[in-house]
Amino acid sequence: MDRTRGTAATPKSLWPESPWRAAGRRLVERPSASVGLVVLITLLFCVPTAPLLGNGPLERALAAGQGSLSFALLGGLLGAAAGLAWGIAATALGPRAERSLMGLAERLAGLPLALALPLAAGLAGRGPGVLAPAAALTAAPFIALVTRAELRALLRREFLAAAQAAGVPPGRILRRHLIPNAALPLAAAAWTALPRALAAESFAGLLGLGLPGSVPSWGAALAAAVRAGDPAALAAPALLLALSLWALHAVGDGLRAAAASGETPRTAGGGRP
Amino acid sequence: MTTPLLSVEGFSLLAGDAVLLDRLTFAVGAGEVLAVTGAAGSGKSLLLKALAGLAPPDLTCDGTVRTVGRRILVTADGTLFPHRTLGAQFVELLHHHLGLDEHMALRRAVEALEWFRMPAAARRLSLYPHELSEAQRWRAVLALAVAAQPAVLLADAPAAALDPTQRAWMLDRLAGWARENGAALLIAGRAEEGVAGPADRRLLLEADRLRPAPPPPGLAADGDVNREPPPAGAPALSVRDLRVAFRLGRTWTGEDRWLTVVDGVGFDLAEGDTLALVGESGSGKSVLARALLRLVPPSGGQVAWLGRDLAGAPPDALRRARRDLQMLFPDPAAALDPGMTVGAQMAELLETLRPDIPAADRGPRIADALREVGLHEAVAALHPAALDAAEAAHAGLARALLPEPRLLVCDEPAATLAGADRAAFLARLMEVRRRRRLALVYATQDASDALRVGRRALVLLLGRIVEAADSAALVEGARHPLTRAMLAVAQGAKGGGSGGEFGSGLPGDPPSALAPPSGCALRLRCPLARDHCAQEPPALEGAATSHRIACHYWETNSQGAS
């Protein structure tokens, strides 16, 4: 047999895209993910510039997003970092640490963690130094669980054994094989911290226990509109909050789809149609 | 034979203009077993579905299919309803087809399950499908089909994922049922799935047409068995009392629980020699292969390459040894990092194992290795996702050859390939091995593969060697019941006639390392087991210096058989 691929194959299969490019294509090919990306970018552009746009209800609601979105970013990054560190520590520190760390994460994930934010605000004040760790806590256990599962699956993959058989030292296996292959699934897991932090802060703001009054936020704007009984003022922040939550989730789904390897499933029992 | 139960005349299946099946004509009579073999995608499953009246609605059927009595199709995945107990599924099916009440249906169910030797059949009826092991699930699926007493039973690649010894036994039971009850049985599957074993007639589905399958070459044909003379010289690889065990945790009394996967295996291998490790799934052959290269940490014993023990070797010495010892993995596509091009991974191997080769020479060497295995050198620029299974297998071989190894450890290297691809890959492997005078350790569950590749073979059961002999000696007179069963099944799968009392495989499942049976690990499945087999595990003792067997009764048993 002589597999002369170079001459026989079509150009598309001869120079296929790199895995990163393929992942980007899978992300963009999902309609919801690409629309979500556009929505997010538009919001990130409009929210800081809203005061320049005018003073209607929509512009005011957009301006209120400044606090919400920056807090979501702060709390989300903190939660993502904590969750990733948690999951990585559980995988790296051996079975006993794994059992206790993951047991804790599972127990926490079963609690209504959205209440952590108003609880912390009520007990320790409403400064961002209190609220951001509380928002991180609402997301971290879930990310830790997903991180551990992804890493365990990755560590069982055969190409790591092949790299070991090729004499590659452990440090380089980590750098060249483990981290590049873990990056996308872990990014998809970490992304979920953003919508969680945003939702938790808005919920706390609605209760009047969110960010301090000097910082504008959608939750607080909603609460004010409810108190004033003004449906028109309610609509704009509610809509923007729903839209940004949907966009964050849509992009998260797209990242997960991008992280899922693009292998075509093998046919097991012959050519079934 | 009176009127056939299933008769097909000029049967065609068309998808638009494309002809999927072209004017097939055959008949299956009462008590007859017909095997339809064919490569993947040749339309076997489609034919069976169409015969059962379940062809996809967008296909056009042409010709006549006549059946007398009830038809039942067993699909290739062998699914049961996931949320209903086995008993409920039997009751529903038997009520529908035979109008039996619940009591009668359950009685029929137990009989059918016992026909397939389901252990404690009556108790299994209250279980859900996910609580059954794969082998038990297949017993249940076949029992369910048999219990409905169909006149025509269509089975699509039944039990294809099971071990050959188990599968052969189940197919034999199924054929036995058809013959006893005067049903027509049609089994479809790939030739290497052994569907032809119990069949009366064999047809080959190829290029949309059916034709009689060519008589397969027998296993004992001379060219098929490795009869090389033993190479001279001191052993290069020497393995002594190798053990691999994994800690499972503690029992409530505070003792450590261990799962012993490889238990005291030892052998020598000279340069250029070939050794096959044969065993069913769970026999430890794959872990043993990895332990040789220290990809799995051994928990005892020693593996010495050229007199140097690898078990305690420092990283530098181990890397030098890895230059000589390379591995082929069971899923070659998964053994390539999806994030790097094939060439980058090969360059990485050269960089770590052959620092003496200057960086500028790596490219030409990689191209040479790819060409040597029959791939185009442009493959180096591809990512693994662009390769099909056969190309990935060849790329894996090219990578293993790069550092110019002297021993290749192969763990079912063609497991993901079928048919012509598989044969071509194995031929390439053997050609490379001959040209480079490589020593080979070849782990496989296919006994005929093992005898073809290995000059010597070790038969493994639950991590222990049960028979060690030259391949030529095994063909002429295997002594251990497991070896005889595996050889007979490998022979029967090709349709080369039954292999005596072991021709239909072994009943029951391979023993579990978590709860090994007392005494001999095979005794629960062994047709020749006696009381003494339960009392102590047999030791490996010699019929000749090069032929050793771990069976209490190898002398008496083999006399009785011959």
pLDDT tens per residue, range A191-224: 999 999 999 999 999 988 888 888 889 999 999 9
Task: List the CATH code of the domain at A42-259.
Answer: 1.10.3720.10
Q: Does A273 touch chain B (CB under 8 A)?
A: yes
**Best residue in B36, B305, B348 for a mutation probing chain A (most A CBs within 10 Å):** B348
Using a CB-CB cut-off of 8 Å, the residues of chain A touching B156 are: 269
Torsion angle of C-alpha atoms A204, A207, A209, A211, degrees rounded to 10: 60
Give the model's confidence band at B527: pLDDT under 50 very low, under 70 low, under 90 confident, else very high.
Answer: confident
Q: Does A10 touch chain B (CB under 8 A)?
A: no
Q: Which residue of A has its CA nearest to B350?
A: A166
Q: Does B501 have pLDDT greater than 80?
A: no
pLDDT tens per residue, range B34-72: 988 888 778 888 888 888 888 888 888 888 888 888 888
Please tell me the predicted confidence (pLDDT) of residue A248. Answer: 96
pLDDT tens per residue, range B273-305: 999 999 988 888 999 999 999 999 898 899 999
Using a CB-CB cut-off of 8 Å, the residues of chain A touching B42 are: 270-271
Give the model's confidence band at A268: pLDDT under 50 very low, under 70 low, under 90 confident, else very high.
Answer: very low
**Cα(B372)–Cα(A2) distance, rounded to whole angstroms?**
10
Mean pLDDT, rounded, for B114-134? 87
Q: To which residue do tokens 């009127």 refer?
A: B3
Q: Are B190 and A3 a contacting pair at CB < 8 A?
A: no
**Cα(B160)–Cα(B192) distance, rounded to whole angstroms?**
9
Torsions phi, psi for B35 (to 5 deg): -110, 130
Q: Give the number of residues written for chain A.
A: 273
Determine the distance in angstroms separating the CA of B224 from the nearest CA of chain A, rounded to an integer. 20
Mean pLDDT, rounded, for A246-256? 94
Strands, DSSP E only, in B291-337?
Answer: 300-305, 308-309, 325-328
Determine the distance in angstroms separating the CA of B334 from the nearest CA of chain A, rounded to an integer. 6
Considering only CA atoms, which of B396, B382, B542 is closest in space to residue B469? B542
Alpha-carbon distance values, B547 to A144, B7, B288, B465 (Å):
55, 51, 21, 12
* Cβ–Cβ < 8 Å for A122, A131: no
**Cα(B318)–Cα(B311) distance, rounded to whole angstroms?**
9
* Cβ–Cβ < 8 Å for B459, B480: yes
The partner residue sitting opposite B424, judged by closest CB among A1, A162, A268, is: A1
Torsion angle of C-alpha atoms A159, A96, A80, A136, degrees rounded to 10: 170
Q: Give the number of residues written for chain B.
A: 562
Please tell me the predicted confidence (pLDDT) of residue A186. Answer: 94
Q: Does B375 touch chain A (CB under 8 A)?
A: yes
Give the model's confidence band at A5: pLDDT under 50 very low, under 70 low, under 90 confident, else very high.
Answer: very low
Q: Which residue of A has its CA nearest to B391?
A: A3
Q: To which residue do tokens 């292999």 refer?
A: B499
Question: DSSP 3-state assignment of A78?
Answer: helix
**Cα(B533)–Cα(B528) distance, rounded to whole angstroms?**
10
Where would I find the H helices in B313-456?
315-324, 342-353, 359-372, 389-401, 419-436, 447-453
**Cα(A152)–Cα(A146) distance, rounded to whole angstroms?**
10
Mean pLDDT, rounded, for B9-21? 85
**Cα(A103)–Cα(A125) distance, rounded to whole angstroms?**
30
If you average pLDDT over every residue of chain A, what do you get? 85
Q: Does A175 touch chain B (CB under 8 A)?
A: no
Mean pLDDT, rounded, for B124-143? 89
Work out whether the CA dihedral B428, B434, B437, B439 comes out positive or negative.
Answer: positive
Using a CB-CB cut-off of 8 Å, the residues of chain A touching B353 are: 166-167
> Which run of H or E residues covers position A224?
helix A218-228
Interface of A with B in 180-209 (CB under 8 A): 180-181
* Cβ–Cβ < 8 Å for B177, B144: no
Determine the distance in angstroms separating the CA of A13 from the nearest CA of chain B, rounded to an integer. 7
The partner residue sitting opposite B76, judged by closest CB among A6, A159, A270, is: A270
Using a CB-CB cut-off of 8 Å, the residues of chain B touching A262 are: 385
With 0-12 CB in 10 A as exposed, 13-18 as middle and 19+ as buried, what is B463? buried
* Cβ–Cβ < 8 Å for B185, B214: no
Determine the distance in angstroms separating the CA of B315 from the nearest CA of chain A, rounded to an integer. 8
**Best residue in A4, A5, A7 for a mutation probing chain B (most B CBs within 10 Å):** A5
Provide the β-strand partners of residue B249: B257
Q: Does B555 have pLDDT greater than 80?
A: no
- Give the residue, A38 or B218, on which the prediction is more confident: A38
Q: Does A15 touch chain B (CB under 8 A)?
A: yes
DSSP type of residue B494: T
Q: Are A169 and B336 a contacting pair at CB < 8 A?
A: no
Q: Does A105 have pLDDT greater than 90?
A: yes
The partner residue sitting opposite B322, judged by closest CB among A2, A3, A165, is: A165
**Cα(A40)–Cα(A252) distance, rounded to whole angstroms?**
12
Mean pLDDT, rounded, for A218-241? 89
Q: Does A243 have pLDDT greater than 90?
A: yes
- The set of long-range contacts for B312-319, using a CB threshold of 8 Å and a minimum separation of 24, is B315/A169, B318/A167, B318/B294, B319/A167, B319/B352, B319/B353
* Cβ–Cβ < 8 Å for A139, A196: yes
Dihedral class, residue B69 (left if φ above 0, else alpha if ψ from -120 to 50, else beta):
left
- The set of long-range contacts for A110-114, using a CB threshold of 8 Å and a minimum separation of 24, is A113/A137, A113/A138, A113/A141, A113/A200, A114/A138, A114/A199, A114/A200, A114/A203
Determine the distance in angstroms separating the CA of B313 from the nearest CA of chain A, rounded to an integer. 13
CA angle B108, B113, B116 (to 5 degrees): 135
Q: Are A19 and B428 a contacting pair at CB < 8 A?
A: no
Strands, DSSP E only, in B110-183?
Answer: 152-156
Q: Are A269 and B76 a contacting pair at CB < 8 A?
A: yes
**Cα(B123)–Cα(B87) distance, rounded to whole angstroms?**
9
Q: b or e along B232-245 (b: 16 or more beta carbons within 10 Å of the residue's beta carbon)?
A: eeebbbbbeebbbb
Interface of A with B in 247-266 (CB under 8 A): 261-263, 266
Please tell me the predicted confidence (pLDDT) of residue B500. Answer: 58
Considering only CA atoms, which of B182, B190, B140, B187 is closest in space to residue B161? B190
How many contacts (CB atoms, under 8 Å) link A and B? Answer: 137
Q: Does A12 touch chain B (CB under 8 A)?
A: no
The partner residue sitting opposite A5, judged by closest CB among B376, B399, B427, is: B376
Mean pLDDT, rounded, for B489-512? 68
Provide the β-strand partners of residue B279: B460
Mean pLDDT, rounded, for A236-259? 93
Give the model's confidence band at B503: pLDDT under 50 very low, under 70 low, under 90 confident, else very high.
Answer: low
> Which run of H or E residues covers position B468?
strand B464-470
Please tell me the predicted confidence (pLDDT) of residue A192. Answer: 94
- Give the residue, B498 or A48, on which the prediction is more confident: A48
The partner residue sitting opposite A271, judged by closest CB among B43, B77, B390, is: B43
| Among B108-112, B406-410, B523-527, the least confident range | B523-527
pLDDT tens per residue, range B91-105: 999 998 888 888 999
Mean pLDDT, rounded, for A27-42? 92
The partner residue sitting opposite A273, judged by closest CB among B40, B46, B379, is: B46
Q: Residue B159's CB: how many other CB atoms inside 10 A?
A: 28
Q: Does B423 touch chain A (CB under 8 A)?
A: no
Q: To which residue do tokens 């305690």 refer?
A: B312
Q: Are B41 and A270 a contacting pair at CB < 8 A?
A: yes
Alpha-carbon distance values, B290 to B165, B316, B458, B461 (Å):
24, 19, 16, 17
* Cβ–Cβ < 8 Å for A206, A222: yes
Q: Which residue of B has its CA nearest to A267?
A: B40
**Cα(B344)–Cα(B428) distance, rounded to whole angstroms?**
24
DSSP type of residue A177: I
List of residues 6+ apart from A170 with CB closer than 8 A: none
Q: b or e along A108-137 (b: 16 or more beta carbons within 10 Å of the residue's beta carbon)?
A: beeeebbebbbebbeeeebebeebbbbbbb
Considering only CA atoms, which of B457, B510, B503, B464 is closest in space to residue B484? B503
Sorted by where each begins, the domain ranges of chain A are 42-259
Interface of B with A in 73-92 (CB under 8 A): 76-77
Q: Are B385 and A262 a contacting pair at CB < 8 A?
A: yes
Q: Does A174 touch chain B (CB under 8 A)?
A: no
**Cα(A217)–Cα(A201) distance, rounded to whole angstroms?**
9
Q: Residue B562's CB: how many other CB atoms inside 10 A?
A: 7
Determine the distance in angstroms separating the CA of B293 from the nearest CA of chain A, rounded to an integer. 7
Question: DSSP 3-state assignment of B327?
Answer: strand
ipTM value:
0.81
What chain B holds in terms of domains, given with CATH numbers, is: 6-212 (3.40.50.300), 479-562 (no CATH)
Using a CB-CB cut-off of 8 Å, the residues of chain A touching B415 are: none
Give the model's confidence band at B223: pLDDT under 50 very low, under 70 low, under 90 confident, else very high.
Answer: low
Give the model's confidence band at A102: pLDDT under 50 very low, under 70 low, under 90 confident, else very high.
Answer: very high
| Among A62-71, A99-108, B499-508, the least confident range | B499-508
**Cα(B438)–Cα(B324) distance, rounded to whole angstroms?**
10
Q: Does B312 have pLDDT greater than 60?
A: yes
The partner residue sitting opposite B376, judged by closest CB among A6, A163, A270, is: A6
Please tell me the predicted confidence (pLDDT) of residue A16. Answer: 63
- Give the residue, B222 or A102, on which the prediction is more confident: A102
List of residues 6+ apart from B435 with CB closer than 8 A: none
Q: Residue B316's CB: how many other CB atoms inside 10 A?
A: 8
Please tell me the predicted confidence (pLDDT) of residue B558. Answer: 59
Using a CB-CB cut-off of 8 Å, the residues of chain A touching B352 are: 166-169, 172
Q: Does B192 touch chain A (CB under 8 A)?
A: no
Considering only CA atoms, which of A244, A233, A234 is closest in space to residue A199? A244
Give the model's confidence band at B562: pLDDT under 50 very low, under 70 low, under 90 confident, else very high.
Answer: very low
Please tell me the predicted confidence (pLDDT) of residue A261. Answer: 64
Q: Name the pairing type of β-strands B325-328 and B547-549.
A: unpaired
* Cβ–Cβ < 8 Å for B511, B522: yes
Q: Are A5 and B375 a contacting pair at CB < 8 A?
A: yes
Q: Which residue of A has its CA nearest to B77?
A: A269
The partner residue sitting opposite B45, judged by closest CB among A5, A180, A269, is: A269
Give the whole-number percent of chain B exceeding pLDDT 90. 33
Q: b or e along B331-365 (b: 16 or more beta carbons within 10 Å of the residue's beta carbon)?
A: bbbbbbbbbbbbbbbbbbbbbbbbeeeeeeebeeb
Q: Can you read off the two tokens belonging to residue B428?
A: 């390439």
Q: Which residue of A has its CA nearest to B389?
A: A266
Q: Can you read off the two tokens belonging to residue A10?
A: 């079509």
Determine the distance in angstroms separating the CA of A266 from the nearest CA of chain B, rounded to an integer. 9
Q: Does B248 touch chain A (CB under 8 A)?
A: no
Q: Does B399 touch chain A (CB under 8 A)?
A: yes
Q: Does A254 have pLDDT greater than 90?
A: yes
Work out whether the CA dihedral B500, B505, B511, B517 comes out positive or negative.
Answer: negative
Torsions phi, psi for A92 (to 5 deg): -90, -25
